[in-house]
Structure 1
């Protein structure tokens, strides 16, 4: 997040070039250092002394160049120093960054108990939370078990449905102690840690429910969701508030949006009709047809097996086209089918777009055995190459050059994965921040494609009609419209209407 901050502050002039050079050199040095550690761990007969020496010499050269860059930056851009080496923010530094209608809650989770600090422009409060790391992990895991879109489709009764009593219990523990300071603010900014990074705060329940699990799905509509009271945004750290607000770039992308969706996972499928017939009209953005270990073969991912397992998402073409129409994007900027590829993405001038939108499957690190990075699944080429193998990994995202007001990841599990304790921003989302995104719209769990289409297009339409409400409030209104739609019982179920979270800057600045 700090790397994003210094890049945003730099803008697009000489300072930006110096900052990018310094960060790239740092990444190169870190990679070389890891390579040396790997090399020296080998047996003597397998080591390449000359190669090791070249790596050490390069690290020394990098250190010298970075020292020179720091001197240049200190002389030419003294304000940069306070941002690139920030001190912890005091309450008095945070309060001016908040608007009159915002409250921030910061969480510290330790072994036996936890703490919450609430800050507004007018005041601050600090309270103990009577739940330690293990207890929170167990409760968040139980909370998330009810967030399965399949539960809104089948007739399995109450088994495994979302527990409103637990949602209220967590509200009472986490926000109840500071409720007096926070409840009347229109927007809530949350800085979670540990297991709380996997908790969708907007689904906490502020009042005791009539029943832990309603007799009918419609009963979920009447719960006192926190979302009904406040728009919720997540920040990866306290310093990120300053990064995103005090130092944010003011220039905007010149084009409204580019999008990538309806990828071809099976190259044998020629057209949208074929893919729709193969995958069905509605597909949850997850992989349920095979074990993840089946995708792994030898030293790489078996993309033939992966292609068979990934359900096609033909309705994501409708999703992207609808959003593009709402924001005024041209057809040439929407990449569908085979054009939704790594090759197309990496050749595009992405820095000219205000919105970059991905509507596809997401793979969290560990989903596929041996795949150490989270990825977005794009069209799988007939002949994979180093540039295009069909999976856009976090490290590849970090090398992109963006100037995006927000990046939408309408995919599965791009925020926290299945296990509590995952980072609030997965490696994928964090990489988009590093590349230059100011806010992310990401999913907490596998998304129902029709629901994702409805939520995202509604969010953009609301923002288009009332730009000043901000991203977080637009998302809030879109979710409320969904849950309050009585045309179908499953519209009331939180797994359907509540998958998305706003990470980063939710306001209009």
Structure 2
């Protein structure tokens, strides 16, 4: 039965003198025991409060003058200090507990009181003292017949060996400790030791055993309401996922763990999570996030005097510094870490420093030194039995040799085998890529292809484990070259099967994440996710509202200063906006991580679309042109219903980039003062036609003989995205005079839309589509004609739902868009090149962001974004396009009419009316837009006015 301590609150609040007087009058053994029980219960959940109770218990025991009680209370105080990572104070308190026990004549209790000192000495990096004390206590307790307590000593010794990275010794200590504890202590105690054991098994690549132990332990801790122990499991599970290459799952576990540690004020444990999260972010090439994590944890470790932990974090931080071209700082950080590990005689961490130093040296081109450091690291890591890490070091050594033309193929093959054995798919891909490059330089194309194919396959396996979009894109940033080298090797040989395989490889590397989103949009069952955290949902809503307020107030457009000059829109300070965006982006990431389940950890890994399927989807008079680039040259695949061909080196990437800059300059000239434009109409028109002739010469003329029919599907690549190929000029004609053109982010994305269209049985007759239309107009300075535009479209689509001005709200969009076959939005848009998923469309009461559309479900044949630059995108690795276009395609729109630049209001309205007039008469979307642009060209000859819009998706 619990004992009430009526004077507890008064004593806790009293100053030392008043407390002493009070305790002299009221203290009794039962009350002290009750205070001890409170302190022990609070140690894990609220160590500060546990310490207050333990100190009060110490004072009460001192007032009673009972050594045995004083021993127990001092021990409780020591445990509270340990929970707070105040290890020097913990050692003093535990030694005091032992002395009180000795004065009470209880040698056994004195030995038990000192067990916790082992772990605190380890945290203070007084390893030799800790080892000696562990041996002394184990032997003494065994002599006393204390099997259970000697088992606890072994567990503490295991923790000590773990901290010194001596995994075999830690494994032995934990195993022996468990043998002595089983059947003698409570199940939760066994579970905590098994968690430690699982961590060691993870390091030793015994992943399945570790996973089983973690799963059972966490289940038990959750049932007991033990938040601290559950958070420890999550920390360790995060590390297990990290070494297994499952980075999204790793960060999800780390995020749960960190949040739990923060909630119970365990700063040191939260800092340890930060250090591990830094490693994961670094592996994903998310360098700013990694640096933030390292800086945060190093500050805590230095404050706590934890040189080992801070040195480990410094090693990871050095990689980030080197990647940011801060090589000198990186080398200094590694030197500091190495000095710490040498002082602690930690050979394993010294080897880790050598591995990272080799990486930094290789990155900076100091190859001979890099190979030397890598060889040193490999020897020590192999000696320690860490063969996966040893393979990382050996890769650097032999990659240097292969790049220098030395035949290091046999040892690099060994790296491949080790990487495969230890589930390091990314390393396996790099090693195979290195071998492929070597054989290609040696002229052995067959062997080169063998290794490059294997490198692509290994990378496919690695990237499949990174499901969260932002992580996936960053992860690929330094890995895409293996696809390019395989394509180059295949096309250099140039047999027809090689061309087919090269196209397959291009598609594997192109817009895969967008393809998955498009396919998910078609699969409503796949849209489900985990239940959202209510607190996080509320925070997201608040940040979302704040972001919209900033957008309304600032009108953040690219070229905002020109906009201000033209229409008087004020441009404010962006600092607050950027802060809100950063907070919102972080909250969105937390929400994505919270939705990471075994079912969502991996990409769907859809098989690439086979050539035969692409050809079957093409009409007899239709040609698909897919551009790609490697070694700085542009090449084009030309696919018809009956054939496939490729043209190499049709242009240089640098040449097309220069042409794109010239085009932007000519378009911007039209945005100048009206009087200037009117005076120089002919000159401006002639100047842009010269650029558009170059566009035709570079991208269409070399492949024109291969084109069949009058319909083109164009799949751009890299710098070609956003170019108006339909406006490319050949003599007096433009490309759209010869062909009806649609664009697609990838051939597979286009094919998915065609398949969906066929499955729905889309009817060409207009009535079935036009009676289910949504028209919305939000007039603003510079786009005053959008209301007239929508009114005239309503006359063409009489069954449409129309919302003007204040009625054009986000709620109206969310309610009616999912039920509409046509969506037309005439409003202001902003494109954020620095943050493209925060690009948006203005509604009367807020902004619709590209990222918002990920949660929207559309089933429309056409979404027209009649606003400035709605087709602008930021191209990320893997040719992933980010912007409003991505959002609408991901939501389920099968085709989009988007603008490539900010066309004039009157010309846009004219194009739109003629475009929808064609649709209302039953013309296909692509043909209707082409006809509209040709007709508007008669009134507005400059391409700025008539060529701004392009159709993306199905015809």
Which bracket does the TM-score occupy, shorter chain normalised? 0.5 to 0.7
Superposition deviation, residue 8 in structure 1: 5.4
Q: Which residue of 2 aligns with 1:375?
A: 840
Instruction: Looking at secondary structure, tell me which structure has more helix per residue.
Output: 2
2:778 corresponds in structure 1 to 262
Two-structure CA RMSD over aligned residues (Å): 3.5
8 Å CA contact 2:918–2:928 kept in 1: the answer is: yes
Match of 1:35 in 2: none
- What residue is the counterpart of 1:315 in the other structure? 785
Please show how residues 272-291 of structure 1 align to structure 2 within 5 Å: none
Q: Secondary structure at the match of 1:503?
A: strand
Q: Distance in 1 between matches of 2:678 and 2:877?
A: 29
Could you tell me how far 1:113 is from its partner in structure 2?
A: 1.2
State TM-score, norm by structure 2.
Answer: 0.37
Q: Tell me the distance in 2 between the aligned counterparts of 1:420 and 1:142.
A: 23
1:189 aligns with 2:713: yes
Q: Conserved in 1, the CA contact under 8 Å of 2:715 and 2:744?
A: yes
Distance change in 2, residues 1:462/1:158 (3 Å): closer
Report the CA distance between 1:138 and its aligned residue. 1.1
Q: Given the alignment of the two structures, is residue 336 of structure 1 paired with residue 804 of structure 2, yes or no?
A: yes
| 1:114 and 2:627 aligned | no
Counterpart among 243, 247, 255 of residue 756 in structure 2: 247
Q: Please point out which of 691, 697, 708 is paired with 1:172.
A: 697
Structure 2 vs 1, CA of residues 445 and 225 (structure 1 numbering), >3 Å: closer, same or farther?
A: same
Q: So what's the TM-score if we normalise by structure 1? A: 0.67
Q: How does 1:88-103 map to 2 (within 5 A)?
A: 88-103=608-623
Q: What CA distance in whole angstroms lies between the structure 2 residues aligned with 1:191 and 1:228?
A: 19
Against the structure 1 CA distance between its residues 125 and 326, is the aligned structure 2 distance closer, same or farther, given a 3 Å change threshold? same
Alignment equivalent of 2:818, drawn from 344, 351, 366: 351
Where in structure 2 are the equivalents of 1:132-211 lying within 5 Å? 132-148=652-668, 149-150=670-671, 153-156=677-680, 161=685, 162-182=687-707, 184-207=708-731
- Structure ranking higher in strand proportion: 1
Of the candidates 460, 480, 495, which is equivalent to residue 916 of structure 2? 460
Structure 2: how far apart are the matches of 1:112 and 1:176?
19
Q: Unaligned 5+ residue runs, structure 1?
A: 11-15, 33-54, 71-80, 208-222, 266-310, 382-389
Establish whether residue 324 from structure 1 lines up as the match of residue 815 from structure 2.
no
Q: Out of 473, 482, 494, which is 2:943 matched to?
A: 494
1:390-429 equivalences under 5 Å are: 390-416=846-872, 426-429=882-885
How many pairs were matched up?
378
Paired with 1:420 and 1:228, the residues of 2 have a C-alpha distance of 32
Question: How far apart are 1:320 and its partner, in Å?
Answer: 0.7
Which residue in 2 is equivalent to 1:436?
892
> What is the CA–CA distance in structure 1 between the aligned matches of 2:627 and 2:944, rounded to whole Å?
25
Cα pair distance change 1:160/1:195, threshold 3 Å: farther
The one-character-per-residue Cα deviations of 1:449-505 (angstroms, maximum 9, x if unpaired) are: 11111111111111211x2x411111000111111x3xx5xx111111111000001
Contact 2:521/2:890 (CA < 8 Å) preserved in 1? no
The answer to whether the Cα contact below 8 Å between 1:137 and 1:421 also exists between their aligned partners in 2 is no
Deviation sequence 1:391-429 (CA, Å, 0-9, x none) = 211112222221111110010011126999997954211
1:58 offset after TM fit, Å?
Answer: 10
**1:464–1:423 CA distance, 2 compared to 1 (3 A):** farther
Give runs of ≥4 in structure 1 deviating > 6 Å.
Answer: 55-58, 251-254, 369-372, 417-424
C-alpha spacing 1:8/1:373, structure 2 compared with 1 (3 Å) = closer
**Does structure 1 conserve the Cα–Cα contact (< 8 Å) formed by 2:873 and 2:885?**
no
User: How big is the shift at 1:354?
Assistant: 0.7
Deviations 1:209-243 (A, max 9, x none): xxxxxxxxxxxxxx210110001100111111221
Instruction: Choose which of 506, 516, 519 in structure 2 pairs with 1:6.
Output: 519
Aligned partner of residue 314 in structure 1, secondary structure: coil
User: Which residue of the partner structure matches residue 216 of structure 1?
Assistant: none
Q: Report SS of the residue matched to 1:198.
A: coil
Shift of 1:150: 3.4
Are 1:414 and 1:426, in contact at CA under 8 Å, matched by a contact in 2?
A: no
- Structure 2: stretches of 5+ with no match in the other structure: 1-513, 541-588, 763-767
Higher relative contact order (CA 8 A, sep 6+): 1
Separation in 1, partners of 2:528, 2:832 = 28
**Cα gap change, 1:503 to 1:57, in 2 (>3 Å):** closer
Measured in 2, the distance between the counterparts of 1:175 and 1:428 equals 27
Q: C-alpha distance in 1, partners of 2:842/2:879?
A: 21
Give me the whole-angstrom Cα distance separating, in 1, the residues matched to 2:943 and 2:750: 28
- Residue 938 (structure 2) pairs with residue 480 (structure 1): no
Whole-angstrom distance in 2 between the partners of 1:93 and 1:473: 24
Assess, with a 3 A threshold, how the Cα gap between structure 1 residues 166 and 109 changes in structure 2: closer, same or farther: same
The 5-angstrom pairing of residues 214-253 of structure 1 reads 223-248=732-757, 249-250=759-760
